[in-house]
Amino acid sequence: MSKYENVDDYISQFSKEIQKILEELRKIIKNTAPNSKEIINYGIPTYKLNGNLVHFAGFKKHIGFYPTRTGIEKFKDKLSNYKSSKGTIQFPINKPLPLDLIKEIVIFRVNENLKK
């Protein structure tokens, strides 16, 4: 696994198409959770606010979004069109990101972490 100095370094490794999607996801997270800290953790972009908030990662055919198990459980009905598992959601590269849903999930995670 490569080490990246920051999220810009991480995003720069991808094609322009994927970079655009990752930047869009990054912007939604930062705007929705402006008090979160952006770092590289586990080799991927991570946002922390009273602990891990969300992570994301780029792949050839999808964007991985990691809002923890609770973030997926809470929105499982709205996520039914996406491949997901206990801690991961896969957003296909060839479809627009569900920005409103991502924002809802991030708000949920912020509220959840602030209760800690």
| Residue 1 reports pLDDT greater than 60 | no
Rounded to two decimals, what is the model's pTM? 0.93
As assigned by CATH, the class of the 7-110 domain is alpha beta
- As a whole number of angstroms, the distance between CA 12 and CA 41 comes to 17
Binned at pLDDT 50, 70 and 90, residue 37 comes out as very high
Q: What local confidence, expressed as pLDDT, does residue 51 receive?
A: 95
Q: What is the average per-residue pLDDT within 8-12? A: 97
Q: What is the pLDDT of residues 70-114, one digit of tens each?
A: 999 999 999 999 999 988 999 999 999 999 999 999 999 999 999
Binned at pLDDT 50, 70 and 90, residue 116 comes out as confident
Q: What local confidence, expressed as pLDDT, does residue 2 receive?
A: 57
Q: CB of 86 within 8 A of CB of 72?
A: yes
